[in-house]
């Protein structure tokens, strides 16, 4: 438990940049003990000052391929088999004792398997003291001349110290002081030849050293210094102690005996007295193996001297407490190796449980510090970790000495110890802060001693020595007068010295008055200067506040501008992306346009060539037609010439209409051999369904073909757009559809159907027939289609003349029976005057 006067919070919150915010890792050292026999197999080798190497011994080479497995572990420093106790102490424990004298806490562990040298490292052997006696020796070498009288410091049961005046301490010394005999059993163990002392000791303070010794056995705490009256009939078992928390949140053992010691011998005698009470178990590993954790606590109380430098300052708040805990952990071997049973098995289980809790605490601390997590550290799972909780949560230095035995039998246990030690040195502990400096003037003790020595010398020089006062004879009349004369001289000297002292007092008082006046004037001057400086500082503070406000405003504006810039940049990126996509789209459209232009250019070229060919064809047809006309005119001229040159016998009679009709009918039956004669009578063809009412649907986009074959449907309602009103009045429906054929001619389709009434009151059309009409130019190439109606073939006859000669034309209708009803073919005669 930490016993510093300054409060140590459960979770300290240190200011950034302060000394307390600094952390140091747990210092882990390794000490390798020598082998018991020279021919023993070793599994540990020291590589250098910081590294050891473990290799699998012959009996444990159970790897899959039987390789020689080697692992290396690094520590802050490694001590080999030739390391002396002094070398180990100087590196590991000396800094802890130096911190203890300067008011800082420390914790030192020895950890390892049973038989690895933990107790030898901590306690030592006769003539070769370990860390514990050397720590005590260094403490008393440092503070020996500045120790307070016994019982000036008095410990209480609240983990703090009380302070008594010299009179009370003297009375208690007279009541409890007894002569202490040094036990010869350990006299040689504290015989430390090397002198060691801490530097920069505060000489204006007094010190008191208190020691306590406890053990943790089966997760119970026992006080090894508790004096229990021995009852031979019914021995009383020791009572376990409880852990408590003081006002500064430090853990301590309630009711633990604290013994004030004044020398190394006395302190080690107290330790040896408690050592005899420790539980020693006879296991197969080691007959002297300790089966419990031992904790030896050295507590140092420090208080300043008063202003005169003579007595200790009677203020409890000025006491500074620091402590150094030396912990000798139990063996870390596993239960199956000890071959223990019953109590020994339970004992080993509790030991392993407490060490496992220590390991778990180290792992959680390491995880919290490395990864920033806030997991709860399970200190309360074990008395050992709960007692030293404040070292890891608060401040102080923590050191661990890992003791290993290089023999092959300890290989597996040594491997576990190494892994735990390597993980522990990654845990960091807050660095202890320096103690608060007392406000009294330093050097008080030295000035007080110098004044006493000077006063003694002055009194010896000023007063004459007293003569011998022994009266051997009754009639001696010289001794008393001489004594009276000397005493009168001493009295006269005393009076003179008193007058001189009074004069010096007056002069000194005047000097003090002048000094006070000068100090007062100086204070006034300083106060004036300070007031001016304070005004300047206040103005500067106001300016700083204004600038800070301005800075905050600018920062706010900068933040807004940064946000706006971010928004604009995002918009810019979006617009750039949109622009790029539009550019890509335009490029695609441009490429499509170029492809379309190229395609249209090709189509135009093709169409131009096609129309050129068509024009050539039509020109040729026109030329043929003109040639036919010329031929007809020539024939007419020939006939006219023949008529003119023919002699007139009689005036011919004008044929009657009836005869003309008969001739026309005869000619229509047997066509005239004269080619290209104009038609004289229209031939009518009656529709098979002329009695029905039709809806003749002719869209406005249709063009007049002006052919001889014109559809004619009687009693029909002609519409440009189909409507329900017209459908309701008729039983038949016909749609005229035109389209341009591939050869450039117009093709007409007549789509016919029946009109039915639906249940909803409307009309529906069911198509039943399609007629296709197609016209062809006589000069063009004749094309036949299986789906189209036969084209018309017209033979042109010479036109009529005023002469009584008539030319008839014969119109041959091919496949006339295939045409649908409702069509009449008209051949109107054309008359032209000569």
Q: Which residues pair with 25 in a beta bridge?
A: 428
- For the chain, first and last CA: distance in Å? 150
* 28 labelled binding-site residue: no
CA–CA separation, 95 and 59 (whole Å): 42
CA quadruple 359, 364, 366, 370: dihedral, nearest 10:
160
Tokens 């807050």 locate to 430
Name the helix (H) or strand (E) containing 32: strand 27-32
Name the helix (H) or strand (E) containing 454: helix 444-462
Q: Report helix, strand or coil for 551.
A: helix
Q: What is the DSSP string of 267-308?
A: HHHHHHHHHTTS-EE--SS-TTEE-SEEEEEEEEEEEEB-TT
Name the helix (H) or strand (E) containing 695: strand 694-697
Other CB atoms within 10 Å distance of the CB of residue 534:
12
Residue 21 DSSP class: G
Phi-psi label, residue 647: left if phi above 0, alpha if psi -120 to 50, beta otherwise: beta
Residue 84: predicted pLDDT: 92
Q: Which two tokens stand for residue 85?
A: 């106790």
CA–CA separation, 433 and 436 (whole Å): 9
* 698 labelled binding-site residue: no
Q: Report helix, strand or coil for 426.
A: coil
E strands within 131-204? 153-155, 161-163
CA–CA separation, 118 and 110 (whole Å): 6
Residue 337: predicted pLDDT: 53
Angle CA 481–485–490, to nearest 5: 145
CA–CA separation, 304 and 313 (whole Å): 6
Name the helix (H) or strand (E) containing 265: helix 264-275
* 112 labelled binding-site residue: yes
Please give the CATH number for the structural domain made up of 85-229+236-403.
Answer: 3.40.850.10
Nearest to 95 by CA among 298, 391, 328, 324: 324
* 439 labelled binding-site residue: no
Residue 75: predicted pLDDT: 93
19 near 434, Cβ under 8 Å?
yes
Residue 316 DSSP class: G
Q: Report helix, strand or coil for 332.
A: coil
Can you give 628-692 as a three-state secondary structure string?
A: HHHHHHHHHHHHHHHHHHCCCCCCCCCCCHHHHHHHHHHHHHCCCCCCCCCCCCCECCCCCCCCC
Other CB atoms within 10 Å distance of the CB of residue 468:
9
Q: Which two tokens stand for residue 462?
A: 């000023």
For the chain, what's the residue count?
Answer: 834
Q: Report helix, strand or coil for 137.
A: helix
Q: Which two tokens stand for residue 112?
A: 């390892």
Tokens 């905050």 locate to 552
- All residue ranges of the chain with pLDDT < 50 are 1-20, 64, 179, 280-289, 335, 338-342, 651-689, 782-834
Other CB atoms within 10 Å distance of the CB of residue 444:
20
CA–CA separation, 566 and 572 (whole Å): 10
User: Residue 159: what are its φ and ψ, rounded to 5°?
Assistant: 60, 40
CA–CA separation, 172 and 781 (whole Å): 151
* 119 labelled binding-site residue: yes
417 near 331, Cβ under 8 Å?
no
CA 52 to chain CA centroid, Å, is: 36
Q: Which two tokens stand for residue 619?
A: 């020109």
Can you give 156-171 as a three-state secondary structure string?
A: CCCCCEEECCHHHHHH
Instruction: Render the burial of 718-752: b for 16+ CB within 10 Å, e for the rest.
Output: eeeeeeeebbeebebbbbbbeeeeeeeeebbbbbb
Q: Report helix, strand or coil for 508.
A: helix
Pairing of strands 746-757, 732-740: antiparallel
CA–CA separation, 421 and 425 (whole Å): 6
Number of separate helices (H) and strands (E) present in the chain? 15, 30
- Name the residue ranges covered by the structural domains of the chain: 85-229+236-403, 490-619, 717-771
Taking CA atoms, 68 is separated from 48, 406, 540, in Å, by: 21, 17, 74
Domains 85-229+236-403 and 717-771 share a fold: no
Residue 597: predicted pLDDT: 92
Pairing of strands 397-404, 27-32: parallel
CATH of the structural domain 717-771, one choice from 1.20.1560.10, 3.30.300.130, 2.60.40.4330, 1.25.40.10: 2.60.40.4330
Name the helix (H) or strand (E) containing 567: helix 479-645
Q: What is the DSSP string of 590-638?
A: HHHHHHHHHHHHHHHHHHHHHHHHHHHHHHHHHHHHHHHHHHHHHHHHH
* 113 labelled binding-site residue: yes
Nearest to 60 by CA among 47, 69, 50: 69
Q: Which two tokens stand for residue 588?
A: 């695609």
Residue 20 DSSP class: G
346 near 218, Cβ under 8 Å?
yes
Q: What is the DSSP string of 377-406?
A: P-GGGSHHHHHTHHHHHSB-EEEEEEEE--
Other CB atoms within 10 Å distance of the CB of residue 158:
12
- Longest Cα separation, the chain: 242
CA–CA separation, 778 and 632 (whole Å): 17
Residue 22: predicted pLDDT: 78
Q: How are strands ordered across the β-sheet holding 694-697?
A: 716-719, 694-697, 732-740, 746-757, 763-774
């Amino acid at each position: 438990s930490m016993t510093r006067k300054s409060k140590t919070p459960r979770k300290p919150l240190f200011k950034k940049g302060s000394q307390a915010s600094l952390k140091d890792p747990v210092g882990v050292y390794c000490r390798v003990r020598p082998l018991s026999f020279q021919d023993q197999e070793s599994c540990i080798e020291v590589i250098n000052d910081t590294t050891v190497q473990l290799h699998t011994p012959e009996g444990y080479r159970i790897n899959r391929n039987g390789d020689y497995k080697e692992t290396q572990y690094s520590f802050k420093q490694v001590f080999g088999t030739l390391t002396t106790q002094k070398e180990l102490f100087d590196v590991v424990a000396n800094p802890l004792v130096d911190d203890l004298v300067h008011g800082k806490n420390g914790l030192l562990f020895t950890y390892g398997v049973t038989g690895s040298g933990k107790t030898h490292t901590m306690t030592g052997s006769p003539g070769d003291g370990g860390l514990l006696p050397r720590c005590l020796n260094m403490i008393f070498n440092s503070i020996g001349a500045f120790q307070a009288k016994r019982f000036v410091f008095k410990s209480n049961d609240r983990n703090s110290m009380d302070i008594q005046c010299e009179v009370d301490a003297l009375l208690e010394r007279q009541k409890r002081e007894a002569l202490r005999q040094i036990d010869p059993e350990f006299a040689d163990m504290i015989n430390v030849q090397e002198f060691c002392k801490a530097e920069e000791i505060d000489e204006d303070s007094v010190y008191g050293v208190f020691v306590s010794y406890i053990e943790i056995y089966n997760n119970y705490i026992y006080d090894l210094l508790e004096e229990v009256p021995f009852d031979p009939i019914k021995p009383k078992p020791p009572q376990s102690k409880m852990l408590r928390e003081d006002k500064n949140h430090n853990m301590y053992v309630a009711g633990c005996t604290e013994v004030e010691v004044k020398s190394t011998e006395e302190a080690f005698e107290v330790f040896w007295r408690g050592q005899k009470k420790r539980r020693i178990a006879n296991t197969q590993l080691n007959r002297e193996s300790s089966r419990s954790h031992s904790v030896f606590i050295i507590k140092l109380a420090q208080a300043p001297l008063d202003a005169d430098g003579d007595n200790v300052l009677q203020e409890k708040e000025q006491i500074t407490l620091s402590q150094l805990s030396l912990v000798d952990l139990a063996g870390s071997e596993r239960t199956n190796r000890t071959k223990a049973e019953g109590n020994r098995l339970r004992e080993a289980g509790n030991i392993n449980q407490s060490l496992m809790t220590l390991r778990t605490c180290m792992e959680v601390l390491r995880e919290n510090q490395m990864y920033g997590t806030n997991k709860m550290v399970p200190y309360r799972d074990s008395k050992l970790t709960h007692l030293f909780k404040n070292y890891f949560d608060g401040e102080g230095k923590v050191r661990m000495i890992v003791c290993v035995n290089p023999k092959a039998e300890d290989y597996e246990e040594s491997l576990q110890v190494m892994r735990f030690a390597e993980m522990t040195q990654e845990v960091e502990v807050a660095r202890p802060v320096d103690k608060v400096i007392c406000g009294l003037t330093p050097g008080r003790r030295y000035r007080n001693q110098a004044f006493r020595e000077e006063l003694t010398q002055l009194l010896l020089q000023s007063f004459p020595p007293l003569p011998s006062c022994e009266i051997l004879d009754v009639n001696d009349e010289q001794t008393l007068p001489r004594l009276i004369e000397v005493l009168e001289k001493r009295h006269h000297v005393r009076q003179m010295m008193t007058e001189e002292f009074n004069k010096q007092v007056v002069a000194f008082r005047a000097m003090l008055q002048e000094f006070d006046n000068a100090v007062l004037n100086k204070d006034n001057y300083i106060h004036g200067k300070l007031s001016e400086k304070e005004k300047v500082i206040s103005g500067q503070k106001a300016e700083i506040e204004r600038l800070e406000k301005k800075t905050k405003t600018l920062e706010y504006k900068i933040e807004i501008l940064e946000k706006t810039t971010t928004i604009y940049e995002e918009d810019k990126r979006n617009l750039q992306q949109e622009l790029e996509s539009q550019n890509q789209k335009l490029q695609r459209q441009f490429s499509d346009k170029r492809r379309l232009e190229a395609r249209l250019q090709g189509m135009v070229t093709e169409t131009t060539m096609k129309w050129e060919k068509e024009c050539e064809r039509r020109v040729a047809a026109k030329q043929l037609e003109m040639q036919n006309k010329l031929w007809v005119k020539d024939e007419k001229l020939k006939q006219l010439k023949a008529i003119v040159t023919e002699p007139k016998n009689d005036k011919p009679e004008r044929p009657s209409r009836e005869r003309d009709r008969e001739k026309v009918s005869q000619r229509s039956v047997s066509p005239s051999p004269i080619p290209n004669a104009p038609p004289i009578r229209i031939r009518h063809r009656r529709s098979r369904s002329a009695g029905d009412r039709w809806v003749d649907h002719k869209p406005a986009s249709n063009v007049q073909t002006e052919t001889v074959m014109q559809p004619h449907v009687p009693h029909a309602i002609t519409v440009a757009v189909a409507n329900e009103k017209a459908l309701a009045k008729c039983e038949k429906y016909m749609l005229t559809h035109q389209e341009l054929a591939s050869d450039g001619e117009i093709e007409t389709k007549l789509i016919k159907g029946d009109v039915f009434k639906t249940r909803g009151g409307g009309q529906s059309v069911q198509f039943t027939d399609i007629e296709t009409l197609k016209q062809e130019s006589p000069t063009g190439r004749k094309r036949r289609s299986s789906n189209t109606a036969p084209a018309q073939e017209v033979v042109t006859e010479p036109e009529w003349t005023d002469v009584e000669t008539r030319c008839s034309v014969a119109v041959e209708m091919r496949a006339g029976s295939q045409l649908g009803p409702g069509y009449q073919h008209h051949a109107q005669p054309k008359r032209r005057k000569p």
